[in-house]
Structure 1
Amino acid sequence: MSIIRQGSLFSLEELYDLEPTHRFEEVFSTVDIYPILVVVSKKSVYGAPVELNYPAMIYSLVARITERIPTIKDLIKRLKNDFIFRLDCGFLLSDDVPSEASYSRMAAKLSESDVLEKVQEKLLIQAISEGFIQDHNIAIDSTHIAARDQAPPKEEKVEPKPKKRGRKTKAEHEQWLVEKAEQEANATIYEKTIEDQLDITLEELRISTPLTPEWGVKKNSAGKNVFWFGYKSHLAVGTERQYILQSMLSSGSQNDGKAAIPLLKGLQERLPNFLVKHAIMDSGYDYAAVYKQVSRIRAQSVIAYNKKNESEPVGFDKHFAPTCVREHSYKYDSFDAKYESLKYTRPKECKDCPLAHDSLCQSVYKIRIKTDLRRYTAPARGSQAWKNVYKERSSVERVIGYLKSYFQLNNIRYRTGKKAKFHFDLVTLVYNASKLASDRINHRLQEVQEAA
């Protein structure tokens, strides 16, 4: 008697336990390579005839990620020595194994195009239509990626000249204003404030993303600064199904908060049928403009608050819940979506308080979240409901772990930013393709189980 595996238990790790031939078939079937072929194929009928099997080359790049083959040189060696692997990638017996130069030229063509982003968008739309993406919450976070180039020495800080005491002369002040205006006029979108991104189109934000490898810094779990030279990957992940819904690569020095608005706009424009209920982020994204963009896509922000040397408002606690005369915090009750207001009820400590029936201590307190989008969110800060939603942020950390452990996110072998982005887009595409392949296997196993 055969044993039928329960479909719900089939995971991404088990996809890697399949025989390579079956695994390749499942993953390849989820990727529409036709748009990629349009970019890399020869456009003219003149010149030398094309002898390369471009579909097989594309599939071999996907297989390189899933098989964790470190370099193109190792991929070519595997194609030459492993006959089954070569056939699995789609090469014919009469095909020659492409050279490193051929793969390099194809990578150069793809790095000048956004075709991988479009193929990924189509894959996600297909996953939504098949019912595999039913998330309503997204989690956004970033992770560092070391560059292939040797890191240059960090520039030593030059001690600024001591400021001249006293007020500037009129001429000096005018000169300072001119220099400041020139700096602001020449600043790129990502050198300006996060608020300046709100009215910039998604296409312009994507094109202007800095891709030069640079020194970056972030705090580790021990609270110490960790430096690296390279890039940052920014991901928006569905918290339930853990698909990468939006992604972008930037320089290592890029502020995390400046990637949130492009990711949120990408969700709204590229996946219009995907409705976000909560956008979950850590305190690195605690900027007023990010809350405003979340509100624009009709979602609620669940972002850890960063005090930034701010004092607590009088009459409210550290979570901005109102307090009574004796400074007991009101309890969050519910959220009224119609009026976009939070409802708080009288604290239990006020039950026997002599001021309970006084006009100074009201029984119900309502606050509209638009009063201050940064302080007032639904569910309310400090409530158990808010904490439960915020716990879902671990999903994006889990996805980052998958990308680094299984999909070679840390293995950027290219020296230019555009080719590094090509590698990053390929990695996220293969990850989503593997997720869709795993979900399709689950669905088939469930059908077999139900029919048995």
Structure 2
Amino acid sequence: MTIIRQGSLFGLQELYNLEPTQRFDAIFSAIDIEPIFALVTKKSRFGRPVELNYAAMIYSLVARLTERIPFVKDLVKRLKNDMIFRLDCGFLVSDTVPSESAYSRMITLISESNVLEKVQETLLHQAITEGFISDDTVAIDATHFEAKDQAPPKEEKPTSEPKKRGRKSKEEREQWLIEKTELETNLPLFEKKIEDQLDVPLSDLRTEIPQDPQWGVKKNSEGKNVFWYGYKAHLAVGTTSQYILQSVFSSGNLNDGKAAIPLLKGIQERVSLPTLRYETMDAGYDYEPIYTQIHLMGHQSVIAYNKRNEPEPIGFDKYFAPTCVREHSYRYDSFDSKYETLKYTRPKECKDCPLANDGLCQKVYKVKITTDLRKYTAPARGSKVWKEIFKRRTAVERVNAYLKQYFQLNHVRYRTGKRAKVHFDLVTLVYNASKLAVDRINATISHQLAA
């Protein structure tokens, strides 16, 4: 009698413990390669006859990630020496093994289009249709990965001319304001303020994201700055399903907050998931335009507050809940979605307070979240529900670890941003395909157990 493994115990690690043939079949079946195949195949019957199996080449790039093969030259060597691996990738015995140059030409064609994003969108739609994605919360965060290339020396800032002492004349100030306005107007979109992204279409945002490797900086556990050269991966992950719902590839020096609106607009326009209600992020995304974008989507923000030399609020606690005369915090009660109003009730400490009966302490306090979207969130900051939703943010950190541990996100072997983006898009695509493969296996196991 066949022993059936319990469905709830099957995960990504178990997928990698399967035989390669089974693993490849499960992952390949989750990816619709037709758009990629149509892009890279020969369009004319004239010229040199086609001798390459392009479909198998695409599958072999997927297999390269799952098998953790670092270089394309190693992939070519594996295809030449391992007949079973070659057949698993879809090559026929009579097929010629592609050269490194053939793979390079194919990757160049893919880098000139957004075909991998379309394939990713199709995969997500399939996962939603099959009922594997039904999240109510999305977690957003970024992770860095280095470019495997010699980093240029950091440029020293040019020494500026000493400023003239004294106030500018009226004419000089007016001229300075005109020059400053022109300079800010001509800046690239992602060097402007975040609020300038709100009215820009998603396609333009995606097009203008800087993608060349750059110097980035982060703080380590000791609070010291650590510099690195490379890229950033910005992910929006379903906290329950752990699918990557949207992803953005950028230069390493791009501020995390400046990638949030492209991710949010991508969720709004490309992910048809009516169950979504919350977006949760860390304090690095505490910018008012991000709250505005989430509010325009009809969702709620659960973002850690980043105090920026702001004065202590008078009449409110650190979570912006109102306080009574004796400075006890009101308790969050509920949120009225129709009127977008938070309701707070009298503190427990005020139950026997003589001031409560004198009308100095009101029983109920209501405030509209549109008064200040950054301070007043639904559920209210500091409430038990808010903290529970914020804890779900660890899902995106877990996915970042998966991409680096299992899918070679750390091993970018291309020197240009466009080709590095192909690697990044393949990594996220293969990850989601692996998730879909695991979910399908679990569904089959559950069906067998139920029968």
Same-fold call, TM > 0.5? yes
| In structure 1, distance between residues paired with 2:370 and 2:421 | 38
Question: Structure 1 residue 368: deviation in Å?
Answer: 1.1
Secondary structure of 1:221 counterpart = coil
Superposed CA deviations along residues 132-173 of structure 1, whole A, max 9, x for unmatched, are 001110000000011122111112234433321111134432
After TM superposition, give the deviation of residue 290 of structure 1 in Å: 0.1
Match of 2:5 in 1: 5
How far, CA to CA, are the matches of 2:416 and 2:158 in structure 1? 29
Report the 3-state secondary structure (helix = DSSP H, G, I; strand = E; otherwise coil) of the residue aligned with 1:235: strand
Question: How far did 1:80 drift?
Answer: 0.7
**1:369 aligned residue:** 369
Q: How does 1:112-127 map to 2 (within 5 A)?
A: 112-127=112-127
- TM-score normalised according to structure 1 size: 0.98
Q: Identify the range of structure 1 (183-192 vs 157-166) with the bigger mean alpha-carbon deviation.
A: 157-166
Count of aligned residue pairs for this structure pair: 451
Helix, strand or coil: the match of 2:354? coil
CA distance in 2, matches of 1:2, 1:70: 37
Instruction: Give the gaps of 5 or more residues in structure 1.
Output: none
How far 1:182 sits from its partner (Å)? 2.6
Equivalent in the alignment of 2:169: 169
Q: Tell me the CA shift for residue 221 of structure 1.
A: 2.8
Q: Give the Å deviation of 1:429.
A: 0.2
Deviation at 1:99, TM superposition (A): 0.2
Structure 1 distance, partners of 2:422, 2:369, is 41
2:392 match: secondary structure: helix
Query: Tell me, what secondary structure is at the counterpart of 2:269?
Result: helix
RMSD (CA atoms): 1.1
Offset of 1:273 from its aligned partner? 3.5
What's the % identity of the aligned pairs?
A: 69
Cα deviations across residues 335-393 of structure 1 (Å, max 9, x unaligned)? 11122111111111111211011222011111111111000111111111111110000
Paired position in structure 1 for 2:414: 414
C-alpha spacing 1:207/1:336, structure 2 compared with 1 (3 Å) = same
Q: Structure 2 counterpart of 1:285, which letter? A: Y
Equivalent residue letter for 1:84: I
Q: Which residue of 2 aligns with 1:210?
A: 210
1:65 Cα deviation after fit: 0.4
> 1:179: how far off?
2.2
2: CA distance, partners of 1:350 / 1:170: 58
Cα distance per residue 1:147-204 (max 9 Å; x no partner): 1221111122344333211111344324323321331232111111100000000000
Partner AA of 1:335 in structure 2: F
Contact 1:267 1:274 in 2 (8 A): no
Deviating more after overlay: 164-173 vs 208-217: 164-173
**Distance in 1, Cα, partners of 2:440 & 2:350:** 55
Match of 1:381 in 2: 381
In 2, Cα distance between equivalents of 1:224 and 1:348: 43
Task: Report 1:58-207 matches (<5 A).
Answer: 58-207=58-207
Runs of 4+ in 1 over 4 A off after TM superposition: none
1:239 equivalent to 2:239? Answer yes
Q: Please, which runs of 5 or more residues in structure 2 have no aligned partner? A: none
Give me the whole-angstrom Cα distance separating, in 2, the residues matched to 1:146 and 1:221: 19
2:357 maps to 1:357:
yes
Q: CA deviation at 1:8?
A: 1.8
Question: In structure 2, what is the equivalent of residue 335 of structure 1?
Answer: 335
How far the C-alpha of 1:322 sits from its partner, in A, is 0.1
Which position in structure 2 is the counterpart of 1:263?
A: 263
Deviation at 1:274, TM superposition (A): 4.3
* Distance in 2, Cα, partners of 1:300 & 1:224: 34
Deviations 1:39-58 (A, max 9, x none): 10111221101100000000
